[in-house]
Amino acid sequence: MIKQAPDFTLNNQNGEPVSLSDFRGNYVVLYFYPKDMTPGCTTQACNFRDDYPTYEGLDAVILGVSADDETRHTKFIAKHDLPFSLLADTEHKVCEQYGVWVLKKMFGKEYYGIERSTFLIDKEGNIVKEWRKVKVKDHNEEVKAALAELNA
């Protein structure tokens, strides 16, 4: 199931352009999440934060993507002391490229939003593993295990 990860450029929380191709030579944990400051997204980001040294030891970079803007990302990072970049996909173009901008339903209403998903990208820019409809609880452990396998 190895396929080339679509390259993109989005602004990070500081308004600086970040391209996926900037990280060739590293593994990339590219995770898409619905919204800053919400309970599930906060838990997910903090799990990645707490294990950040492990990810660094596995030669991996973590990038979070949501439709929130740079200002909201800055507040989220400051509030939870996140050591990785959050990218602003306000027009959800990258979300659409990765197939995570989907029709959702809540309280009987339909709307488009981000389906929580993670892509593990190898050092050559190929998607080697993907998780769709992620449940936050054990997800961080699954991602670390997949990375450890690649490093074995």
So which residues are the catalytic ones? Answer: 41
For residues 17 and 9, is the Cβ–Cβ distance under 8 A? yes
Using alpha carbons, select from 67, 59, 31, 34 the residue that is nearest to residue 140. Answer: 31
**Distance separating alpha carbons of residues 149 and 131, to the nearest angstrom:** 16
For residues 15 and 105, is the Cβ–Cβ distance under 8 A? no
Give Cβ neighbours of residue 116 (< 8 Å, ≥ 6 apart).
Answer: 31, 32, 33, 34, 40, 41, 44, 133, 134, 136
Structure tokens at 119: 């892509």
Q: What are phi and psi of 22, to 5 degrees?
A: -60, -20
DSSP secondary-structure letter at 4?
E
Structure tokens at 49: 């934060």
